[in-house]
Amino acid sequence: MAQRVLTVEGRASAALLKLIRQGLPRIRSGEVLFVMPFAYADLPLGKRFDVWSPDGRTAVRVQAELVAVTQQFGKPFDEVPHGWKTFTLVRFSPDVPESVATFPEVDDWYEREPSGLLCTQDTWAARAGHE
């Protein structure tokens, strides 16, 4: 349970978005495109998370939903596939939290170590129990 987190390397930069735009819908207000390393499991679009952590230690309560996924060739996926690095569009409601809006931008994979994560409250609690 404690390992069911979707890790985040950073927010995709405008330059990166230009390269993969064809695999994504139009990005709307409240949505953020993340660069994500390998997912822990196949996660369907519509999957919801209620915890965002910019550093793996601080929990911010959110309402977040996976809305679109692509990869380096701009091919749309209908899920975040296990074992793939992806560009994942996440919708935050009602607004994008400040710690998400100021999370570092990246231009490519491996530009920085993943430090952000999305998970459920149950997973967050399980992680706290393993420290």
What's the CA gap between 106 and 101, in Å, rounded?
Answer: 13
Mean pLDDT computed over 89-117: 92
Q: What is the pLDDT of residue 74?
A: 82
What's the CA gap between 20 and 62, in Å, rounded?
Answer: 27
Other CB atoms within 10 A of residue 65 CB: 16
Share of the chain above pLDDT 90, in %: 73
Q: What is the pLDDT of residue 130?
A: 58
Mean pLDDT computed over 30-35: 97
Q: What is the pLDDT of residue 12?
A: 95
Q: What is the pLDDT of residue 131?
A: 54
Averaged pLDDT of the chain? 92
If one compares 113 and 129, the residue with the highest pLDDT of the two is: 113
Mean pLDDT computed over 59-74: 93
* Domain topology for 6-129: Elongation Factor Tu (Ef-tu); domain 3 (2.40.30)
Question: Is the per-residue pLDDT at 28 higher than 70?
Answer: yes
For every residue of the chain, which 3-state class applies, written as one string?
A: CCCCCEEECEEECHHHHHHHHHHCCCCCCCEEEEEECCECCCEECCCEEEEEECCCCCCEEEEEEEEEEECCCCCCECEECECCCEEEEEEEECCCCHHHHCCCEECCCCCCCCCEEEECHHHHHHHHHCC
Mean pLDDT computed over 47-61: 96
